Amino acid sequence: MSTISMLSPLNLNEEKRKFFEDPTYNPQFTYTQTVEPQALRKWGEPQSTVVELAHKILRQRPNLLTHRMPVEPRVLRQKGEVLFRQIGITEHIEILFDPQKVTRCSVKGTQIIFRDPPEFESVQEIEATFNHEVQTHLLRNLNQKKQGWKLDRENHDHQILRTEEGLAVLHSTLALEEPLLWRPAAYYIAVWLGLQYGFSQMFAELKSLGFDDSFAWRLCIRIKRGLTDTSQSGGNTKDLCYLEGALQMWQWLTDPSHNPADLYIGKVYIEELEHKLKEVRTKHVYLPTFYSDLEAYKQQIATIGKQNFFEEKL
């Protein structure tokens, strides 16, 4: 079982109720298995220059309040079935819903698991989620199986996640009218705050930045999951991978010598890509629908970088 899969608190809803009755309360979480504090920091520490970039990105969004509406599960299932047919997926893919889920959606094998009830701000956000979870994570998972490769998460989890989540972040942004990476920026700042403060103080700091109660709570949970006593500073640093990964993958994708389709030979990270290309068993892999026009895709990727000051950072 991976570190992340062990981080869902068993008493999440009960502790949420206690916290919103008393915002000075620091949730006390229980888990199926405990995780050593050092394991929660395996994804590194926030970089000061990227913290500055994250704040700069957030300042471009006039309103950090989120207004999500519930979406019927059947709508998401129908959307998934149509997309699976468009791509040509032959494997049986399940779309499931979990009321205890911390994150909005994730992929596990051939399962796509949404938090129940599923909530989205717009049709665009639904499209963005499918770009992220299906057209990036799921396809690379399925292609990995075609090659018969195994992931070395023990030694290369940070590299794997930066490539995987960075690519998924950029792909989710393709569906949005405003290509602003405000959510990965929020995740980055949340990690930075979580390593300094306990839960209730972290929540207050996020509120002072303009986030609403619901989103601030979710940010706190994402970082503090894995801790039992959340009054302590610290937390898991996985969410650094989204913005750091987006920076890394934007730089890779905008290099004219690179072929984006190579990223779909399997669940490879870019540092091993050249080596893995020599070990490919099959070139018959699933590709995302937005790869049908690679020139348009590359132009959109370039625009995302410009909107988010990536050229200045690099």
The distance of Cα 87 from the centroid of its chain, to the nearest Å, equals 22
The band of 150, judged by pLDDT with boundaries at 50, 70 and 90, is confident
Q: By C-alpha distance, which of 170, 82, 68, 167 is closest to 123?
A: 68
For residue 11, pLDDT over 70 is answered with: yes
In angstroms, what CA-CA distances link 304 with 81, 163, 171? Answer: 29, 17, 10
Average pLDDT over residues 67-77: 94
- Are 259 and 291 in contact by the 8 Å Cβ rule? The answer is no
For residue 1, pLDDT over 60 is answered with: no
Residue 182: its pLDDT value, please?
95
Q: What percent of the chain has pLDDT over 90?
A: 85
Average pLDDT over residues 276-299: 96
Residue 139: its pLDDT value, please?
98
Residue 38: its pLDDT value, please?
83
Nearest-angstrom CA–CA distance, 74 and 259: 36
Average pLDDT over residues 281-309: 96
Ranges assigned E (strand) in 50-172: 69-70, 94-98, 105-108, 111-115, 119-120
66 or 198, which is more confident: 198
Does pTM surpass 0.75?
yes
- Are 175 and 185 in contact by the 8 Å Cβ rule? The answer is no
- Are 280 and 265 in contact by the 8 Å Cβ rule? The answer is yes
Nearest-angstrom CA–CA distance, 25 and 231: 8
Phi, psi of 249 (to 5 degrees): -75, -30
Run of H or E including 12: helix 12-21
Nearest-angstrom CA–CA distance, 303 and 181: 12
128 or 312, which is more confident: 128
- Are 113 and 106 in contact by the 8 Å Cβ rule? The answer is yes
- Are 293 and 285 in contact by the 8 Å Cβ rule? The answer is no
The distance of Cα 280 from the centroid of its chain, to the nearest Å, equals 27
Nearest-angstrom CA–CA distance, 43 and 241: 7
Q: pLDDT tens for residues 247-275? A: 999 999 999 999 999 999 999 999 999 99
The band of 36, judged by pLDDT with boundaries at 50, 70 and 90, is confident
Q: What percent of the chain has pLDDT over 70?
A: 97
Nearest-angstrom CA–CA distance, 19 and 33: 23
